Amino acid sequence: MVLGPTNAERIRSVLARADSLSLRTEAAGYDLISMHTVDDVGTLRLRVPTTGPLAAEAVSAPRGVLPCRLHFTDIAPTPVRDRVRTRVALSGRLTPAEVQAEPDILTLRLDLSRAALQRDGRSARVGLRELAAARPDPLATEEAALLTHLHRDHADMVATLSHLADPHFHDALLRLRPLALDRHGLVLRFEYARSHRDVRLRFASPVRETSEIGARLDQLLRLRGRTTQP
């Protein structure tokens, strides 16, 4: 039984929805915003200004290869206590693409050598073949809007769904927030004075596209309704 995304799928989803990243070479560090793309097999490319320091460092690197490390931080879109959900670290080498489509932009391809994910206080390496075979979650790029909508406009629904969790989770509860949403289910965060618990409410079947979310949530609500019957 699949309970949630694999680590490879989590990495692909973070890369798909991330708007920014931090890049470190031996010589310098860079914070890049809206400069990366990822294709279907997970190859990451950077589009940087030809007049910038990263482009200069890349074209002057020995043999045209620039070792680097990239960091992505996945932040919860809802106001929870600890908003960092996942950190992704990629190591590899940047090389200029063979074909440069824009005169003022240098496209750099990342030849990946290592991928790792940090989540829930644990770190794990992910195999490159596994990463290439994985795909982003179908909700990855729309998750933030969906969660924000749940939090702002459907707090009553979230509260009802929370009763699908262990009843003891409501003891001394201070706050309840939707934390994550993927094709497998909805994750709620139960916050207490000094700790928190995350609970996954699994969908009956995986979601294939955003339009199916409403039906899956309705199924969970009906399940909650049955649990309250005498």
pLDDT in tens, 167-179: 999 999 999 999 9
| pTM greater than the 0.75 cutoff | yes
Q: Are residues 59 and 158 in the same domain?
A: no
- Residue 164 and residue 114 in one domain: no
- 50 in the same domain as 32: yes
In whole angstroms, give the CA distance from residue 229 to residue 147.
29
> Are 12 and 125 contained in the same domain?
yes
Query: Domain end: 133, 154, 176, which one?
Result: 133
Q: Within a domain: residue 213?
A: yes
* Pair 34, 17 in one domain: yes
The pLDDT of residue 197: 95
Question: Is 48 found in the same domain as 96?
Answer: yes
For residue 172, give its domain range: 140-227
**pLDDT tens digit string along 58-95?**
999 999 999 999 999 999 999 999 999 999 999 999 99
Alpha helices (runs of H) in the chain, residue ranges in sequence order? 7-17, 53-59, 128-133, 143-153, 155-161, 213-227
Per-residue confidence at 1, pLDDT binned at 50, 70, 90?
A: low
Residue 98 is predicted with a pLDDT of 85
Residues 42, 81: one domain?
A: yes
74 and 59 both lie in a single domain? yes
| Model confidence at 182: pLDDT above 60 | yes
Among the candidates 88, 116, 133, a domain finishes at: 133
- CATH number for 196: 3.20.180.10
Give the pLDDT confidence score for residue 226 in this predicted structure.
45
CATH number at residue 55: 2.30.110.10
Judge if 42 and 71 occupy the same domain: yes
Distance, C-alpha 21 to centroid of its chain: 12
Number of structural domains, the chain?
Answer: 2
- Please provide the average confidence, as pLDDT, over all residues in the chain: 93
Q: What is the model's pLDDT at position 100?
A: 86
114 and 194 belong to one structural domain: no
Tell whether 88 is covered by a domain.
yes
Please tell me whether residues 124 and 12 are part of one structural domain.
yes
Name the one residue in this structure whose structure tokens are 């915003």.
33
Domain boundary residue, one of 82, 106, 133:
133
Kindly indicate the confidence band of residue 3, based on its pLDDT and cuts at 50, 70 and 90: confident
Question: What pLDDT, in 10s, does the model give residues 4-55?
Answer: 899 999 999 999 999 999 999 999 999 999 999 999 889 999 999 999 999 9
Q: Does 26 map to a domain?
A: yes
Question: What's the mean pLDDT in 115-122?
Answer: 94
User: Is 94 exposed, middle or buried, given 0-12, 13-18 or 19+ CB atoms closer than 10 A?
Assistant: buried
- Residues 129, 177, single domain; the answer is no
Distance CA 42, CA 135 (A): 8
Q: How many CB atoms lie within 10 A of CB 142?
A: 15
Taken in order 46, 48, 54, 59, the sign of the CA dihedral is positive
